[in-house]
A and B are shown apart, each in its own frame.
Chain A
């Protein structure tokens, strides 16, 4: 089954403790992206990747890092999480980032930073 898989689904951590949220897709998609969803703000793009070793900032990249060493994986790294990063995070992928291909989303990771 074609899917985007995020792990973990739920994560509670403390301020300053580094964490990684994993994202993997099995559709051989070139483009991958991370979003955060907050009440009243919709989905905002954090980072995106057009292909392996190619990443770029979205609208809200501060406090986040990403890497794209393999085509299928696009982990989101919070090196020193803060309470304002408490949010619902979604990973998405699409066939290509240059021709407006539809996005396929994972089921989300709910992160709480205390």
Chain B
């Protein structure tokens, strides 16, 4: 099956700086790549997603880029704020009934 690798596992940035989290996937048939944010004691929440026919997508301070040739996709958070501190998961899916998740990145934004 699909294998998704995520780096780094922990990331600390100063408030206002940018944060980048990277994921690679193994199955070239994967065509949907969501990103989830998990706050303490809560379930993951979708923050942005991208489909394989698009190379980049932005939503305010958050952007995702996809390189199908290299089979990697990245989450970019600009102008980070303390409330961005959480665990972030990337995922890949081929059909929408099976999702393969990365191992998570714990982001800390230092005020």
Chain A residues in the interface with B (C-beta under 8 A)? 4, 31, 33, 35, 40-45, 48, 50, 56, 58-59, 90, 92, 94, 96-108
Contacts and interface: CB of A to CB of B under 8 A. Distances in A.
B22 to A, nearest CB: 15
Given A43-B44, A58-B98, A98-B95, 8 more contacts: A56-B97, A90-B43, A98-B97, A100-B51, A103-B46, A104-B46, A105-B43, A106-B43
Contact of A42 (B96, B97, B101): B101
Given A100-B31, A105-B44, A108-B42, A43 B101 contact: yes
Given A40-B103, A41-B103, A90 B95 contact: no
Interface string B34-67: 1010000111111001010000000000000000
B33 to A, nearest CB: 9
A100 B103 contact: no
Nearest to A96: B96
A19 B17 CA distance: 46
B65 to A, nearest CB: 18
Contact of B96 (A4, A35, A45, A99): A99
A97 to B, nearest CB: 4
Contacts of A94: 96
Nearest to A9: B41
A102 B104 contact: no
B89 interface: yes
Contacts of B89: 42-43
Contacts of A58: 98
A99 B41 CA distance: 29
Contacts of B1: 59
Nearest to A98: B96
